[in-house]
Amino acid sequence: MRVHVADHRLITHKLTYLRDERTDSPTFRRLVEELVTLLAYEATRDVRTEPVEIRTPVATTTGIKLSSPKPLVVPILRAGLGMLDGMVRILPSAEVGFLGMVRNEETLAAVTYANRLPDDLSGRQCYVLDPMLATGGTLVMAIQYLVERGADDITAITLLAAPEGIAHVEQELAGLDVPVTLVTGAVDERLNEHGYIVPGLGDAGDRLYGVV
Ligand code: URA
């Protein structure tokens, strides 16, 4: 897996406010959206395109447009939903699929409870949205799911990642011949005994949507 830490002062600045426990939900949501837009800019650097001829008011020139099939954006429910608006703002023609996964808080294993994805993802570039790469269990399952359906290029976008989670994903996907990239705002120190990222920002879903 190619890991890209989007090391930019504006990202670190916004992450600082996101981490702060005093930040309320409306501000948290807005910051997540802003951060995703910045991370998406980096994550879509290699989005597939094809040449297109256009006329400016002055001359004819060649530009590029997104290739078909269009990229698929896959937020992992629930917290990944908070990242969707920021992502589609810069990739408005992308299609969106949904994957519902929850981790068992005792075993920390990921369980799929819902999916709404095209059956055939052949030739698709997929962008998986999940704010926190903690143990990595959810991301491994999501990537395996997409690869089974034919996805041939996968980029995961997370706000924060734990070193243990990155190592786990790398280990589990070692044999995979599909390129996988991680774009993250920061790699934090570690996971605690409850599987939370330290220093992290707490439970991203709860901070976005409240404790439900
Ligand atoms: N999920 C979260 O929302 N936060 C963490 O720190 C780890 C997993």
| CA–CA dist 36, 139 (Å, integer) | 17
pLDDT on residue 200 = 98
ipTM given for this complex: 0.96
Q: Compute the distance from residue 133 Cα to the ligand 1 centre, in Å.
A: 8
| CA–CA dist 127, 18 (Å, integer) | 22
| CA 22 to centroid of chain Cα atoms | 25
What is the residue whose two structure tokens read 């939903």?
81
| CA 18 to centroid of chain Cα atoms | 17
Number of domains the chain contains: 1
75, amino acid identity? P
Q: Mind listing the pLDDT tens digit for each residue in 72-112?
A: 999 999 899 999 999 999 999 999 999 998 777 777 677 78
Q: Is the pTM of this model over 0.90?
A: yes
Question: For residues 155 and 87, is the Cβ–Cβ distance under 8 A?
Answer: no
- Cα separations (Å) of 106 from 36, 55, 102, 194? 30, 60, 12, 8
pLDDT on residue 47 = 96
Residue 54: give the domain boundaries.
Answer: 2-209
Nearest CA to ligand 1 atom 3: 203
Does ligand 1 lie within 6 Å of residue 132's CB atom?
yes
Specify the CATH number for the domain of residue 75.
3.40.50.2020
Model confidence band, residue 199 (pLDDT cutoffs 50, 70, 90): very high
Please state, as a whole number, how many other Cβ atoms lie within 10 Å of the Cβ of residue 59: 7
pLDDT on residue 111 = 79
Which atom of ligand 1 is closest in space to residue 200's alpha carbon? 6
pLDDT on residue 105 = 72
pLDDT on residue 110 = 76
Helices (H), the chain: 9-19, 25-43, 84-90, 137-148, 163-172, 204-209
Q: Mind listing the pLDDT tens digit for each residue in 107-143?
A: 767 778 888 999 899 999 999 999 999 999 999 999 9
